[in-house]
Amino acid sequence: MRKISPDLLDVLSNYVAEPMLLIKIGGVGYNMNMRFTSCSYDIEFNEEIYLANNSIVSVDIPKVSEVMDKESYKITLADHDKSYLPYLEQGITNIPLEVRAVFVDTRGGPNDGQLMLNDTAMIYKGLLNTGSYDLDYSSGTSTLVLTASSALASLDNISVFRVNPSYLKSVNPADTTFDFVFDDKVTIDLKWGKY
């Protein structure tokens, strides 16, 4: 269970909670390296600058459910000039995505209105799968929809694992599993059918 600081617990239980989002896409070594916030000003968090970006249209909210959630996670960004198109052309599969909520201290006093950056809540952490543009010709707007995989979606996958002598030798050169399987010096008599 996630530990919540007494200050954040006080804000969440007794006051109006004002969440802001921190969205981190990619990083060093990836073709995407973006940081956005839904806050009206730039935020520094973990030595990274999250830009106050008006292009955030929607972000999936966390779901509380009694069953495992295998749905994908979506972020929608306004992109009227298609500035994100080069990222899609290069490929965005398996680029890391993190979405955090940070709350504003609404208790009054000396910290009133300040962000509680010491206690953020991770909303989503995973990998991007796809990106697509939704075009609205009547209004002339376009939005980029980024879809990330669910952490539990891979539970439905069936993994095929084939083993042969060369594969096992590549994993462990000292493996002797297949040493006698193809040895024709050993005669094996098998009875077939009813006996």
**53-111: per-residue pLDDT in tens?**
778 888 887 666 666 666 778 999 888 888 888 888 888 888 899 999 888 877 777 77
Asked whether residue 56 is domain-assigned, the answer is yes
Helix ranges (DSSP H) in 69-127: 85-90
**In this predicted structure, what is the pLDDT of residue 166?**
74
- Torsion (CA) 72, 90, 144, 96 in degrees, nearest 10: 40
Asked whether residue 34 is domain-assigned, the answer is yes
Asked whether residue 187 is domain-assigned, the answer is no
CA angle, residues 60, 66, 68, in degrees to nearest 5: 65
Asked whether residue 92 is domain-assigned, the answer is yes
Per-residue pLDDT reduced to its tens digit, 121-155: 888 888 888 888 888 888 888 899 999 876 666 66
What pTM, to 2 d.p., does this model score?
A: 0.70
Across the chain, mean pLDDT equals: 80
AA identity, residue 111: N
Query: What is the count of structural domains for the chain?
Result: 1
Asked whether residue 190 is domain-assigned, the answer is no
Asked whether residue 165 is domain-assigned, the answer is no
**In this predicted structure, what is the pLDDT of residue 181?**
67
For residue 70, what are the domain limits?
Answer: 6-156
**Pairwise CA distance, residues 44 & 24, whole Å:** 12
Backbone φ, ψ for residue 7 (5° rounding): -65, -50
**In this predicted structure, what is the pLDDT of residue 154?**
62
